[in-house]
Structure 1
Amino acid sequence: MEKIDLHMHSHHSDDADLPVDDLIARCRANGIGVLAVTDHNSAASVPEAARHHGNGLTVISGIEIDCTVEGTNFHLLGYGYTPGDDFARVHRNFNALQASLVPEKLAKLRALGFLLDEDELARLAGDRLPQEEQMGEAILNDDRNRDHALLLPYRSGGARADMPLINFYWDFFGRGKPCYVPVTYPAMSEMIALIRDHGGLPVVAHIGANIKDDYERTLGAMLDAGVAGIEVFSSYHAPELTQRLYDFAASRNAHVTCGSDFHGRNKPKIEVGQCSYSASQYAAVRRFVDAVA
């Protein structure tokens, strides 16, 4: 079976680093025959990725949009859509919202006793908005924080040192964590309509990373609202959850997709094409590909 990866990020996502051409070269080297680049709230990669379509490679347009349902934030993947001004507006609005939150995030980090050089943070961010992972990197690399007890798990040999930057994000900025900043994104119903109005199919991403129970009720409501599929095979899903989601998707006649959520250096343990499925499950993913390719 050729590999399929429908969830990965290029440098058009503020928290990823590979240019589109390099990302797709990496996919070819890893035996991936079907892919979608799904940058955060941005359709900028679509024309760049489309140039690689053909010669044994199927490239599907993709995006990953932050949205809110019942006070909880989720990620909605869009596939097979035609980019337009509406998607550019999503990106502008998202960036404006994120920029407004940066001062509060920095204040919460400093309240924990972390010292942070904003010039260094700006250097790490380059021409993009500073992300939580870059805040973590600036703090971890600042020698003034060398002996801070809260940072020891992220240093060499520590319990969270396998992926220190993304682990820093989850541990300090995740919902209910000390630096969490509440934010309300556009309603998922609006983003479902946006994707469908542009000829695409919406799929809910890695739900196991967003909630820890009540999957069937939550997904059922999303499907009723117009979501077409579920990202069943994900680097965030343990085998038991994967099977549970697969069975639920089958019971609702929903599409099934797979994705690694590759980012690059922020998530060094996640590689493109990092999904496991049986032959019959692979066939279900192929049916989705045929629907949007």
Structure 2
Amino acid sequence: MNYIDLHMHSNFSIDGEYTPQDLLNMARQQNIQIVSITDHNSVKAYQSIIHVQDITLIPGIEIDCSFQGKDFHLLGYGIDVHDPIYEKIEQDIMKQEQECSQKRLSLIKENLHLEIDEEQLKEISPFGIYVPETICEIAMKDERNKDNPYLQPYFPQGKRSDNPYVNFYWDYCSQGKIAYTKINYISMEEAISLYHKQGGIAVLAHPGNNVKEDIQLMNDIRNLGIDGIEVYSSYHKHEQIKFYHDICQKYNLIETAGSDFHGKTKPSVSMGLCHMPEEQEETLIKTILSLKK
């Protein structure tokens, strides 16, 4: 386990389970000493935290953005969490998500032939947004869907049962899939510029999920001016870690570590389990502490 985890989500993310204070308490119990709460398009966690004891908290966020027609997540560290621009970004995306929710639900029901209790869905959907993870959770608990072939991979012992809810998202609701609903995000260039204007750094999140090993795409993103790559991620296989490590070494980019802990939506993802070598962790700690404001 590492002493640093720079990627976790509170309940200010629409798919996070725990409060920001809960996350800090959990990190302290696991002897994680440096953390960043990087909610999706939101910095509200930093206004709700009461006690930061025996932990160094680095201001952070994970912004949805686009580049070359594809959606990406860009982590920002050392940012100004009081800048009203983040409230504007959050409200814009939330409004679009609310408008897309019913369409997303309809596409899932029509294409996957799932029975969904919509009243129950409303009750457990913060902000009136029907995220795929919650839709999957409700569908899997409904006896009417127990034999549905589209859900079988997510039940225990199924091939996608390690993180069933978020895997459901990637399989059916992510970009290019049958239940995808388009959200207009800011460009990656804009996100990078925003972080830099505030004296922060821009780090590409879990590229193994979307960039994969596309060297041309990775180089195009690097040329936008990112400062680092989340090399050590809960999602990355050994080969991917080496691929992104080599890129960082070649171009002098920061290598970061983040679990992307959410709670129940990703049960196999544990806080702090990013598996970063000790020597590189020491380098990262020195770099990230310089951003503490």
Q: Tell me how far 1:117 sits from its aligned partner.
A: 1.9
1:236 aligns with 2:219: no
Residue 35 of structure 1: aligned partner: 35
CA distance in 2, matches of 1:49, 1:288: 24
Evaluate the alpha carbon distance shift between residue 111 and residue 7 of structure 1 in structure 2; reply closer, same or farther with a 3 A threshold. Answer: same
Residue 192 of structure 1: aligned partner: 192
Contact 1:7 1:261 in 2 (8 A): yes
Residue 76 of structure 2: aligned partner: 78
Contact 2:133 2:168 in 1 (8 A): yes
CA distance in 1, matches of 2:187, 2:48: 29
Residue 145 of structure 2: aligned partner: 145
Amino acid at match of 1:261: D
Residue 109 of structure 2: aligned partner: 110
Residue 93 of structure 1: aligned partner: 92
| TM-score relative to the length of structure 1 | 0.93
Q: Deviations over 1:33-77 (max 9, x none)?
A: 11000000001012344841x53x211001000000000111000
Evaluate the alpha carbon distance shift between residue 270 and residue 2 of structure 1 in structure 2; reply closer, same or farther with a 3 A threshold. Answer: closer
Residue 123 of structure 1: aligned partner: 123
| Structure 1, 237-246 or 72-81: larger mean CA deviation | 237-246
Residue 132 of structure 1: aligned partner: 132
Amino acid at match of 2:231: V
Q: Unaligned stretches of 5+ in structure 1?
A: none
SS at match of 1:93: helix
CA distance in 2, matches of 1:38, 1:171: 24
Q: Unaligned stretches of 5+ in structure 2?
A: none
Contact 2:232 2:241 in 1 (8 A): yes
Evaluate the alpha carbon distance shift between residue 162 and residue 222 of structure 1 in structure 2; reply closer, same or farther with a 3 A threshold. Answer: closer
Among all aligned residue pairs of Structure 1 and Structure 2, give the percentage whose two residues are the same amino acid.
Answer: 34
CA distance in 1, matches of 2:144, 2:2: 49
Residue 45 of structure 1: aligned partner: 45
| Structure 1, 237-246 or 175-184: larger mean CA deviation | 175-184
Q: Tell me how far 1:222 sits from its aligned partner.
A: 2.5
Contact 1:257 1:288 in 2 (8 A): no
| Structure 1, 169-178 or 250-259: larger mean CA deviation | 169-178
CA distance in 2, matches of 1:97, 1:109: 18
CA distance in 2, matches of 1:101, 1:126: 14
Q: Tell me how far 1:127 sits from its aligned partner.
A: 4.1
Residue 202 of structure 2: aligned partner: 202
Evaluate the alpha carbon distance shift between residue 136 and residue 13 of structure 1 in structure 2; reply closer, same or farther with a 3 A threshold. Answer: same
Contact 1:41 1:91 in 2 (8 A): yes
| Structure 1, 27-36 or 238-247: larger mean CA deviation | 238-247
Contact 1:14 1:128 in 2 (8 A): no
Contact 2:105 2:130 in 1 (8 A): no
| Structure 1, 205-214 or 221-230: larger mean CA deviation | 221-230
SS at match of 1:66: strand
Q: Tell me how far 1:99 sits from its aligned partner.
A: 1.4
Q: Tell me how far 1:242 sits from its aligned partner.
A: 0.8
| Structure 1, 254-263 or 121-130: larger mean CA deviation | 121-130
1:273 aligns with 2:272: yes
The one of 60, 84, 87 aligned to 1:62 = 60
1:176 aligns with 2:160: no
CA distance in 1, matches of 2:165, 2:2: 31
Contact 2:21 2:50 in 1 (8 A): no
Evaluate the alpha carbon distance shift between residue 49 and residue 242 of structure 1 in structure 2; reply closer, same or farther with a 3 A threshold. Answer: farther
Number of positions where the alignment pairs a residue of Structure 1 with one of Structure 2: 290
Amino acid at match of 1:111: E
* Two-structure CA RMSD over aligned residues (Å): 1.8
Contact 1:255 1:284 in 2 (8 A): no
| TM-score relative to the length of structure 2 | 0.93
Q: Tell me how far 1:89 sits from its aligned partner.
A: 0.4
